[in-house]
Structure 1
């Protein structure tokens, strides 16, 4: 095997031709990697934040149905990093992160116009994408490790950004 075989591998994007907003995390946590599902860790607030923002209870749905419901709202999922070395699930533990290939994103998905970064680590890429014509927003992390703000406080930002693009 090659030198990168010891790196953890992320997931492919959840996106289609109607996707106008892409939520970008940094890299899947241990529970997500184990389950092969975005935001599988039960304490992560992602699915609750998205559900409340869209007014649709995605939490009660099976995983594939959650993804289809997101896509039906024009929202996709991906991560900033394709692969990395990391012990545990904290963003601060990410080492040797390799970026996903975003170079053909605009050409392949012309309706994609907004990127919402789930937390500060993913948000480090916001300026890069803004310079390429995307609307960008850095959301408060849905991770339970980010406890400086309450769920209600996080929800205000998530609702503002996810509803703003849906009303355009």
Structure 2
């Protein structure tokens, strides 16, 4: 079992939308980039939805999202996990990110979108009960995971669900 530490939030101070994963996978940790697994549909989908080329360098992809008010982060600051699959995260090892502080320093966050079921369940069970009333009242929506491990929907089906959820953030 490997101990994994996540990344700092990729967010501008005026962020309005927070996309949460669970914990970076092995490839992401190796290269220190969110959603670095080449078959993960996250960057191609975000590029399509927000109008940028997903093949641009990582820093420019982050800037493209941040300039549109989109923040990226994970529910877990760290945890023990074998491999990259969310179901392999050892529940007793989860250390949560400081969401109360994040919401205090990013007061415009109006929607939290979970990239998959694990991020949503961890947040709802472990984070939500610890939040102030204001932070707990932020709207949230679980979306299909962009991970290639979750193949019950096609990329086009996933993208449509994401497009629907993010409609008010798209031009």
TM-score (norm 2): 0.88
The runs of 5 or more residues in structure 2 that have no matched partner are none
Per-residue deviation at 1:85?
0.4
User: Given the alignment of the two structures, is residue 100 of structure 1 paired with residue 97 of structure 2, yes or no?
Assistant: yes
Residues 22 and 76, structure 1, Cα contact 8 Å, conserved in 2: yes
Number of residue pairs matched by the alignment: 161
* Range that drifts further, 6-15 or 77-86: 6-15
Q: Which residues of 2 match residues 139-150 of structure 1 at below 5 A?
A: 139-150=143-154
Q: Which residues of 2 match residues 54-133 of structure 1 at below 5 A?
A: 54-57=50-53, 59-95=54-90, 96-124=93-121, 125-126=123-124, 128=128, 132-133=136-137
Residues 7 and 77, structure 2, Cα contact 8 Å, conserved in 1: yes
Q: Select which of 9, 27, 30 maps to 1:13.
A: 9
Q: Select which of 34, 37, 41 maps to 1:41.
A: 37
The runs of 5 or more residues in structure 1 that have no matched partner are 1-5
Find the residue that maps to 1:115 and give its secondary structure. strand
